[in-house]
Amino acid sequence: MLHLRLISPAARSAEATTVLEDCPGVTNIVVLPGAAREPVGDVILCDAARESANEVLNRLKWLETEGSIAIEQVDLSLSRVATDAVEEAPGDPDDAVVWEELAHRVHADSRMTWAYLAFLAIATQLAGIGILQNSPILIVGAMVLGPEFGAVAAICFGLLRGSWHLVITSLRTLVIGFTVAIAITFACALVSNWLGWIDVGNLLRNAEVQFIVKPDRWSFIVALLAGAAGVLSITAGKSSALVGVFISVTTVPAAGYVAVALALGDWQEVYGSVSQLAVNILGMVIAGTGTLLVQRKFWPQVGRRSSV
């Protein structure tokens, strides 16, 4: 269930409540006349099945400018009417995509922030150390820490909507983020090389992590599967599934390999790791966009009476 808090001008509150009463899957409707002070108006509270959210939001679009709409997830609802509302709403909650929620999330993830750069740089450095130490455990940890999938998902959503500004912004976030992360890891690896802590032999002895610099058909297939799974986990609100996505793809390890190979002057490994990075991102974008297209066009409730 989702909990909605609406602020409506008093003159249009009846219209808003009529919409809520008319939409299947909406219950626990409460009207507090004159309770809102900024903006001034009536406060309307209700619970809605996830499958009904798109219809409700589309029909109350005018509240974005004339009032306010806030939505939050209900973790526990002990109510027969709420259970009946979920049953009444067509489709299944896990299949329903709340497009407005997804739009806000990907727009936030497409922005380049200091936190994003820090996480990506730390993850890339961990991957570089894992490569030099031939430590798959460190590499897996770097995969989980990497924040790059949010920008990938934003590219997919931008392609679906034809929002080229979002696509360009997300691509810029990916490119600048990986460039900064690789540069920092390169500098650290270069200093370590000057100090004699590492040499090109570290790359020659890391047989267990050679898959990072050897992209093949399986790399692309894994990226496709990870892209589809990642988008599904975001749209269905299953954030725990994203961990599996992070571990499946080798974007961050490939960036770490680029940095240490550059520092050690191994150009053949640089080419292989750059190819792996490109293959992973391309595969995730293709599969993620395709998954969103299927959700919008073919899944019963996701596309019914809603628009992206």
CA neighbor of 234 nearest in space, from 112, 57, 99: 99
Residues forming a β-bridge with 5: 45, 70
Rounded CA gap, 246 and 123, in Å? 12
Mean pLDDT of 87-105: 79
pLDDT of residue 249: 76
Q: Do domains 2-90 and 101-303 have the same CATH topology?
A: no
Q: How is residue 46 written in tokens? A: 């209700």
Confidence of residue 136 (pLDDT cuts 50, 70, 90): confident
H-helix segments, 50-97: 53-59, 63-66, 80-88
Rounded CA gap, 250 and 277, in Å? 7
Mean pLDDT of 271-291: 92
Confidence of residue 94 (pLDDT cuts 50, 70, 90): low
Q: How is residue 228 written in tokens? A: 């589809």
Backbone angles phi, psi at 3, to 5 degrees: -105, 125
Lowest mean pLDDT among 48-57, 117-126, 211-220, 257-266: 211-220
Domain ranges of the chain: 2-90, 101-303
Backbone angles phi, psi at 305, to 5 degrees: 50, 35
pLDDT of residue 120: 95
pLDDT of residue 299: 61
Q: What's the pTM? A: 0.83
240 or 26, higher pLDDT:
26
Q: Top-level CATH class of 101-303?
A: mainly alpha
Q: Which fold, 2-90?
A: Alpha-Beta Plaits (3.30.70)
Rounded CA gap, 47 and 93, in Å? 14
pLDDT of residue 205: 66
Per residue in 187-245, pLDDT tens? 999 999 999 888 887 776 666 676 777 788 888 998 999 899 888 888 876 665 566 66
Mean pLDDT of 146-170: 93
130 or 248, higher pLDDT:
130
Mean pLDDT of 104-132: 92
- Determine the distance from the C-alpha atom of residue 6 to the mean position of all C-alpha atoms in its chain, rounded to a whole number: 27
pLDDT at 114 over 80: yes
Under 8 Å CB-to-CB from 201, ≥6 apart: which residues? none
Q: Is 79 left (phi over 0), alpha (psi -120 to 50) or beta?
A: beta
